[in-house]
A and B are shown apart, each in its own frame.
Chain A
């Protein structure tokens, strides 16, 4: 254990924890926006997989990470349109529709991978970008400011999302639509239009989260996301529908993952113990949800379809 508590290892763990938190954070911020407007999307995992595959395949074909990111976002946005039509226009039950999106994403991403790529071919992933001055700071510079570009994007989206929700007229509409859609409608705010926007943007962020994962690992395989999307949904509850809370949750999960990886690498945990320690994030998710579910703060109209005059 003493191997772990050295400055180099701790800082390396911190750096990798922040990197590992990024896909959680992107997906959970997107889900926060959707839930704020009253729409639960259980399909985040599936959208992430499609985004991840889209980003991987585009990068593989074009050798451009930027195009890869763009394709990941577009695939996510497209899935947002699909989910919007299903839950808003067709008023389908949100829980079940989300599970459908997950299964669809899981199957299609693997099918396309098998048909179009076949054998796992590595791509050139995201390079690390050192922020001038900050990146050269001793100790923390390497951990915090020599990350890939999507890490910075994800953490900058935290204040950005807070600003949109709390300081813009659109954010006011989102909160009203998520709490009391009838009231918003009676004042001329279009409930469906607001929800379409939050769903499409939220899913685009899930697509970006998938892209971040695939481009970081520089590879794609079946079920690459391995539960990231579901944990992201849990993080929205963990963070009590606040971007800063969601960020705290994502960091906790990222750091735990990094720590477990580090312990395995250093041989601190081996064999069965390693597997049990590896369960830690899942157990934590359940514990967190049991505690948080007692609290309040959920948008009152979450999962409730809106129909005028009812």
Chain B
């Protein structure tokens, strides 16, 4: 590692501008990183954080502006240039080759000590040393596909440390980690800064930003809207800078009367895409007027559970009873006819037909029923009326009803889906990741709509990997790990640490005995 005294300016981005067709992604952005600090880049999806860092890493070229490293202007036009300059990046999606080993992934792209021939012995040796120094336990000979998500994250960090980076960019590195893994990651990152490295932390999770940052720069719509430090600010202020107005971070809860069971699941087993069990012996009940949250790191069977309940995936064994009717292995249409609505987690793949217009997507679930269609013919006046009423009621921002859905923002597409799914006032709502990737404003709105439905007596099964969301909305929280429910906590007794343990698969001691 190059000798640097803490506090020396490592990186300066000066007036970076990047124009994409129709979007000014970065508008004269200034940003700098000193050695030994964590400088956070905070902003919503689409604020331009990732674009800025991709410019720094050579994945995009800036239209205007200058990059200086230790005071010297540099041109970075490819990742190799960035690596050569001592810049490392940990991407939002893992950049690992699953069929190769840890050591091979680390060695990839580096010159070998035996020239053309691979020589992994020194690589393994160095990985072990770095693992010890930084507390990043991982076996160099494991294949990536054998590793859990938290371990894969450690490999990403090892790759960067192995390359002796002086500046490391972390793009939303915590999105797939349990709370305990986040704590470990932050400890490693602090250790890296003590060695004189500079870190750029990209995030939209406010409590993580407050916990880790030395300095914070906030971006909104491509522009810097605030520069501050955790000591001078609060989560509410940060949210204000991100969104541009006051935001309520915690949804307002109203009273609601809990009634009879709307969804009862007993001994449910579901097989995943790879033919292995995804949901195992799962029991759950959701009553009218309550929100039951399913927390857990994604990939622990939540998607398969939602698909099995909504009829999209076969149930291997067990039973699903909705409103007293056995719906096990019934078709999605039959299930929907029982006043069940479903907000799928993949809004572009499962929630909408991207090429269809807003109006067409709004009638997708009842286009074959009166009043939308009669004797097989669509009633376009009806469609227009229903469409414009829904767009208005759920504040979907769209130029016209004929606009292709794919050209709306993520938050507005999600509002469109919610408008469609809640228009029939369902008795049971299955909501999977309803606010993932949407901006804070839309999330705030979606939360208030869900709370409104709860007050009206809808039973809501909320599947979310966002702990703040589950803790804010749910009356009871079930934690899923490897296809099983590890425990169900009442709202009052659910703390991040208790949920975090369950999310990591640690059973709670049974204190009732």
Q: Which residues of A contact B (CB under 8 A)?
A: 167-173, 175-176, 179-180, 182-190, 300, 308-309
The 17 sampled A-B contact pairs (Cβ below 8 Å) are A169-B112, A169-B118, A171-B118, A173-B109, A175-B100, A176-B97, A180-B95, A180-B96, A180-B98, A182-B95, A186-B79, A186-B89, A187-B108, A187-B110, A188-B109, A190-B80, A309-B54
Shortest Cβ distance from A150 into chain B, in angstroms?
26
Closest to A175 in B: B100
Besides A169-B118, A182-B95, A188-B83, 16 more A-B contacts (Cβ < 8 Å) are A169-B117, A171-B118, A172-B107, A179-B97, A179-B99, A179-B100, A180-B98, A183-B95, A184-B97, A185-B79, A186-B95, A187-B79, A188-B109, A189-B108, A308-B59, A309-B54
The verdict on B104 contacting chain A, using a C-beta distance below 8 Å, is yes
A188 near B78 with CB under 8 A, answer yes
Determine the chain A residues whose CB is within 8 A of the CB of B110 once the complex forms.
187
Tell me if A's interface is mostly helix, strand, loop or mixed: helix
A180 near B97 with CB under 8 A, answer yes
Take A170-B116, A184-B108, A187-B108 as given contacts and tell me if A309 and B59 are in contact as well, using a CB distance cutoff of 8 Å. Answer: yes
Q: Which of A168, A170, A173, A188 contacts B80 (CB 8 A)?
A: A188
Shortest Cβ distance from A241 into chain B, in angstroms?
10
Determine the chain A residues whose CB is within 8 A of the CB of B89 once the complex forms.
186
Binary A-proximity of B68-83 (CB < 8 A = 1, otherwise 0): 0000000000111001
The verdict on B159 contacting chain A, using a C-beta distance below 8 Å, is yes
Determine the chain A residues whose CB is within 8 A of the CB of B84 once the complex forms.
188
Closest to B104 in A: A172
A187 near B159 with CB under 8 A, answer yes
The verdict on B60 contacting chain A, using a C-beta distance below 8 Å, is yes
A176 near B108 with CB under 8 A, answer yes
The CA of A172 and the CA of B54, in the complex, are separated in Å by 25
The verdict on B190 contacting chain A, using a C-beta distance below 8 Å, is no
The verdict on B91 contacting chain A, using a C-beta distance below 8 Å, is yes
Cβ-closest 10 pairs across A and B: A187-B109, A188-B80, A183-B95, A186-B95, A180-B97, A189-B109, A188-B109, A176-B97, A179-B97, A309-B59
The CA of A187 and the CA of B58, in the complex, are separated in Å by 11
Determine the chain B residues whose CB is within 8 A of the CB of A180 once the complex forms.
95-98
Determine the chain A residues whose CB is within 8 A of the CB of B57 once the complex forms.
186
Interface residues of B in 16-66 (CB under 8 A from A): 54, 57, 59-60
Shortest Cβ distance from B455 into chain A, in angstroms?
43
The CA of A173 and the CA of B111, in the complex, are separated in Å by 11
Determine the chain A residues whose CB is within 8 A of the CB of B105 once the complex forms.
183
Interface residues of B in 456-503 (CB under 8 A from A): none
Take A179-B100, A186-B89, A188-B78 as given contacts and tell me if A173 and B108 are in contact as well, using a CB distance cutoff of 8 Å. Answer: yes
Determine the chain A residues whose CB is within 8 A of the CB of B59 once the complex forms.
308-309
Closest to B51 in A: A309
B100 near A176 with CB under 8 A, answer yes
Determine the chain B residues whose CB is within 8 A of the CB of A183 once the complex forms.
94-97, 105, 108
Shortest Cβ distance from B432 into chain A, in angstroms?
26
Shortest Cβ distance from A302 into chain B, in angstroms?
12
Shortest Cβ distance from A298 into chain B, in angstroms?
11
B104 near A168 with CB under 8 A, answer no
Binary A-proximity of B308-322 (CB < 8 A = 1, otherwise 0): 000000000000000
Determine the chain B residues whose CB is within 8 A of the CB of A171 once the complex forms.
118
Shortest Cβ distance from B161 into chain A, in angstroms?
14
Shortest Cβ distance from B277 into chain A, in angstroms?
19
Shortest Cβ distance from A192 into chain B, in angstroms?
11
The CA of A170 and the CA of B108, in the complex, are separated in Å by 10
B98 near A179 with CB under 8 A, answer yes
Determine the chain A residues whose CB is within 8 A of the CB of B94 once the complex forms.
183
The CA of A179 and the CA of B96, in the complex, are separated in Å by 9
The CA of A308 and the CA of B83, in the complex, are separated in Å by 16
Determine the chain A residues whose CB is within 8 A of the CB of B80 once the complex forms.
188, 190
Binary A-proximity of B149-168 (CB < 8 A = 1, otherwise 0): 00000000001000000000
Shortest Cβ distance from A232 into chain B, in angstroms?
24
Determine the chain A residues whose CB is within 8 A of the CB of B60 once the complex forms.
309
The CA of A184 and the CA of B104, in the complex, are separated in Å by 11
The CA of A40 and the CA of B91, in the complex, are separated in Å by 28
Determine the chain B residues whose CB is within 8 A of the CB of A188 once the complex forms.
78-80, 83-84, 109
Determine the chain A residues whose CB is within 8 A of the CB of B159 once the complex forms.
187
The CA of A189 and the CA of B100, in the complex, are separated in Å by 15
Closest to A190 in B: B80
Shortest Cβ distance from B109 into chain A, in angstroms?
3
The CA of A116 and the CA of B107, in the complex, are separated in Å by 52
The CA of A176 and the CA of B60, in the complex, are separated in Å by 22
Take A184-B108, A186-B79, A188-B109 as given contacts and tell me if A172 and B95 are in contact as well, using a CB distance cutoff of 8 Å. Answer: no
Shortest Cβ distance from A180 into chain B, in angstroms?
5
The CA of A185 and the CA of B84, in the complex, are separated in Å by 14
A167 near B108 with CB under 8 A, answer no
A175 near B97 with CB under 8 A, answer yes
Shortest Cβ distance from A240 into chain B, in angstroms?
13
Shortest Cβ distance from B503 into chain A, in angstroms?
27
The CA of A190 and the CA of B89, in the complex, are separated in Å by 17
Closest to B78 in A: A188
The CA of A168 and the CA of B118, in the complex, are separated in Å by 5
The CA of A179 and the CA of B59, in the complex, are separated in Å by 20
The CA of A300 and the CA of B145, in the complex, are separated in Å by 13
The CA of A309 and the CA of B50, in the complex, are separated in Å by 11
Binary A-proximity of B375-392 (CB < 8 A = 1, otherwise 0): 000000000000000000
The CA of A6 and the CA of B95, in the complex, are separated in Å by 59
Interface centre among B54, B79, B84, B89 (most CB of A within 10 A): B79
Closest to B60 in A: A309
Determine the chain A residues whose CB is within 8 A of the CB of B118 once the complex forms.
167-169, 171-172
Shortest Cβ distance from B88 into chain A, in angstroms?
10
Shortest Cβ distance from A307 into chain B, in angstroms?
11
Shortest Cβ distance from B115 into chain A, in angstroms?
8
Shortest Cβ distance from A77 into chain B, in angstroms?
21
Determine the chain A residues whose CB is within 8 A of the CB of B97 once the complex forms.
175-176, 179-180, 183-184
The CA of A235 and the CA of B402, in the complex, are separated in Å by 50
Q: Which of A169, A175, A186, A300 contacts B91 (CB 8 A)?
A: A186
B116 near A168 with CB under 8 A, answer yes
The CA of A43 and the CA of B110, in the complex, are separated in Å by 34
Closest to A171 in B: B118
The CA of A168 and the CA of B112, in the complex, are separated in Å by 9
Determine the chain A residues whose CB is within 8 A of the CB of B98 once the complex forms.
179-180, 300
The CA of A300 and the CA of B99, in the complex, are separated in Å by 9
Determine the chain A residues whose CB is within 8 A of the CB of B108 once the complex forms.
172-173, 176, 183-184, 187, 189
